[in-house]
Amino acid sequence: MSQPLFVLNGPSLQLLGKREPHLYGHETLAQIEARCAATAKAHGREIVFRQTNHEGALIDWIFEARETAAGLVLNGAAYTHTSVALHDALRTLSIPVIEVHLSNPYAREAFRQHSYVSPVARGVICGLGPIGYELAIAALADILKKETPPA
């Protein structure tokens, strides 16, 4: 079996479906995880899907991904806009990273319009709701297919 794709989620995302559904939609994080697993399976991949409210845990998982994952989908949530430590951890990766946001941070408050993740991500998907995660997984699968030498 090939290395999994990590799908990591930052603070408050456990409240999806309840917290500001006008911004983030009505789907729960568990429903998004199921969509991600199905999309990954369709591309012959598995996922490791996690959420934390703790910056250090998120960074530890990024370092774990460095050793065990083929690619990373990251919704850093608020840490996207505040965490130099998150940026520095992502810089250590040689695997592709796709940044995902359910809402469009560029259509929101000015402080959300800066990302410490974007400069170290292969791509950014924002404002499309939960399908953004599926698009990120499909993009990673395509990148890996093109960039991984045949066995």
Q: Is 11 exposed, middle or buried (0-12, 13-18, 19+ CB in 10 A)?
A: middle
The CATH number linked to 38 is: 3.40.50.9100
- Report, as residue numbers or ranges, the catalytic residues: 24, 101
pLDDT at 151: 63
In DSSP terms, 49 is beta-bridged to 7
DSSP of 44-106, one letter per residue?
T--EEEEE-S-HHHHHHHHHHHHHH-SEEEEE-GGGGGT-HHHHHHHHT--S-EEEEESS-GG
User: Per the structure, how many domains does the chain have?
Assistant: 1
d(CA 25, CA 129): 7
pLDDT at 124: 97
132: containing domain = 5-147
Residues of the chain with pLDDT under 70: 1, 150-151
Q: Which amino acid is at 87?
A: H
pLDDT at 1: 57
Question: Is the pTM above the cut of 0.75?
Answer: yes
